[in-house]
Amino acid sequence: MRWALAQRTRWSWAFDARLPKVYQVDGNKDFAYSFAHPTFDRSSLSMTWTGGGKQPLIDGTSKDEMRLRVIGLDIDENELTPTPARYYDETVCADITKHRGRGDVDLPGAAWICQRLWRCDLGDRHDTEARRSGGDFVPSRNAVFARLNLLLPEGLKKLLYSIYPESRRGQGFRSFYDKCTPRQFRQLASERGLEVVGERLYYSSKYFTFLFPLHLLWRCWVIGFRSIAPASAAETFSMALRKG
């Protein structure tokens, strides 16, 4: 079974390798290593990394070199406990929808969090927690995997674990995808007095790679959708915001 899945996945990746580069960029990696680091790369500042748990955005060595103070914020204390030493200077176990910071953080950052909020409100986090700017990595509500996530029963989603065991951690929360499109996110930021200073759109995901015909069908949909509405067709996107 595993061998068959691996073979079909190789077919999917081989097909993607022949597509234009814009369809090959891994949003998770690009946000962490290309988009977010320049946004956060400012010495002697403090930042909050929300929802990262034991997978912080910045490793301990980079954090020390940047003289950056990092606060780990997660709703699950068990996710914060096993974090390697020196990754966080402080940890806070709290619900982001209720947490009100001390207003002493320069840069709030988050990935795969906004879609889990029943009501996505950037203002609360930036007004009470941040002094300057921040960045978010967001799955788009328009993505096929997001639509399926909204439609499928929670119990059925656990079947994904047999295909992608590494997704077990990320699949433990219900998703709502409120304001989770690039247009809605920009509008929400504007309403809260936040300026969009950086944005990247991604058209790659691995959800259907396990079955090449399904992956091919999904790819045709994304390519066609992008030709009509590039922003709306994005599977995920990164956005950097700055307080006015």
pLDDT tens over the chain, length 244 residues? 555 666 678 899 999 999 999 999 999 889 877 887 665 555 557 777 777 677 777 777 777 777 778 888 887 888 777 667 678 888 888 877 777 666 667 677 777 777 777 667 665 554 445 555 677 889 999 999 899 888 877 666 666 655 555 454 445 567 888 889 999 999 988 888 888 989 999 999 988 988 899 999 999 999 999 999 999 999 999 998 887 6
What is the rounded CA–CA span in Å between residue 90 and residue 155?
Answer: 35
Q: What pLDDT was estimated at residue 128?
A: 46
Q: What pLDDT was estimated at residue 203?
A: 97
Q: What pLDDT was estimated at residue 19?
A: 97
Q: What pLDDT was estimated at residue 187?
A: 92
Question: For the range 187-192, what are the long-range contacts, defined as Cβ-Cβ under 8 Å and sequence gap of 24 or more?
Answer: 188/120, 188/121, 188/122, 189/122, 189/239, 189/241, 191/123, 192/121, 192/122, 192/123, 192/126, 192/127
What does the block give as tokens for 34? 């290309």
Q: pTM score > 0.85 for this model?
A: no
Q: How far is CA 22 from CA 25, 30, 101, in A?
A: 6, 12, 37
Domains and CATH numbers, the chain: 2-243 (3.40.50.150)
Q: What pLDDT was estimated at residue 169?
A: 47
